[in-house]
């Protein structure tokens, strides 16, 4: 009986420790209860690079359509980068084709008091990036949803992200930081063609996990 109780206590302790280790937060930017899971380390490194390079113009495709609710599943990017922008006198431009997504992200932006630091636009991202004329210090690509098994969707998503980079590359510079989501997925994920193009043009993979960070000058 005593042995069984000890086993149960050990199992509970192991489960709690495992849960704590897997809970990856972005404190102090956001409270510890928000878990960023597989994106946490690349997000932290991205924010460090933005600090180091004094980024001012941030641009993302694919907004946080669930606000902060899906920090682990989706990344809550608009809030993460919007908060960083607010704290660093920078500005985030965020585009999404789905009005429901920009609406929901907009509610979270208001709730977090980020309205002065975030501009939300409802548009196809390629069309929006094509019209963008300011220089971009940080670019986050996370629009057209990828699929783990449907190869037609995989190709369409990779083509779309490639078209995004083609549309915006004239606004990138030596210190721009690029982050691409959903890369560690079957057949190369969202970033496959973008990374091929960028690395052929002098960009370097700075960090490669579920997300990939690219920079030019280290």
Q: Give the residue with the Cβ less far from ligand SAM, 91 or 160.
A: 160
Q: How far is the CB of 127 from ligand SAM (least distance, A)?
A: 8
Q: How far is CA 85 from CA 16, 55, 56, 117, 149, in A?
A: 35, 9, 7, 6, 36
Would you say 74 or 137 has its CB closer to ligand SAM?
74
By C-beta, is 51 or 145 nearer to ligand SAM? 145
Q: Centre a 10 Å sphere on the Cβ of residue 138 and count the other Cβ atoms it contains.
A: 25
Strand 91-96's sheet: what is its strand order? Answer: 118-122, 91-96, 57-61, 136-141, 172-180, 212-215, 204-208
| Shortest spacing between CB 161 and ligand SAM, in angstroms | 10
Q: Which is nearer to ligand SAM, 98 or 216 (CB)?
A: 98
Q: Which two tokens stand for residue 97?
A: 């084709």
Looking at the Cβ atoms of 101 and 168, the one nearer to ligand SAM is 101
Nearest-angstrom CA–CA distance, 184 and 210: 5
Rounded to a whole number of angstroms, the minimum distance from the CB of residue 197 to ligand SAM is: 18
**Contact between 29 and 83 (Cβ < 8 Å):** yes
- Going through 84-199 in order, the beta strands assigned E by DSSP cover 91-96, 118-122, 136-141, 172-180
Least distance CB 17 / ligand SAM (angstroms): 28
Q: How far is the CB of 96 from ligand SAM (least distance, A)?
A: 4
- For ligand SAM, the binding residues (CB under 6 A) are 61-65, 74-77, 95-98, 101, 124-125, 142-145, 160
């Amino acid at each position: 009986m005593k042995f069984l109780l000890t086993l149960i206590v050990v199992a509970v302790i192991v489960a709690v420790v495992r849960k704590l280790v897997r809970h990856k937060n972005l404190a102090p930017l956001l409270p510890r209860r928000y878990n960023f899971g597989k994106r946490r380390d690349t997000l932290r490194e991205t924010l460090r690079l933005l600090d180091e390079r004094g980024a001012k113009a941030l641009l993302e495709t694919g907004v946080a359509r669930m606000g902060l609710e899906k920090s682990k599943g989706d990344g809550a990017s608009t809030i993460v980068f919007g908060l960083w922008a607010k704290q660093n006198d920078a500005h985030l431009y965020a585009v999404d084709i789905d009005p429901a997504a920009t609406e929901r992200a907009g509610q979270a932006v208001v709730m977090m008091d980020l309205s002065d630091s975030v501009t939300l636009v409802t548009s196809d991202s390629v069309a929006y990036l094509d019209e963008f004329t300011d220089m971009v210090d940080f670019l986050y690509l996370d629009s057209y949803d990828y699929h783990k098994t449907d190869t037609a969707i995989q190709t369409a998503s990779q083509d779309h992200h490639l078209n995004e980079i083609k549309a915006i590359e004239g606004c990138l510079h030596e210190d721009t930081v690029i982050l691409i989501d959903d890369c560690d997925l079957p057949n190369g994920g969202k970033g496959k063609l973008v990374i091929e193009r960028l690395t052929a043009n002098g960009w370097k993979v700075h960090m490669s996990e579920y997300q990939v960070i690219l920079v030019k000058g280290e």
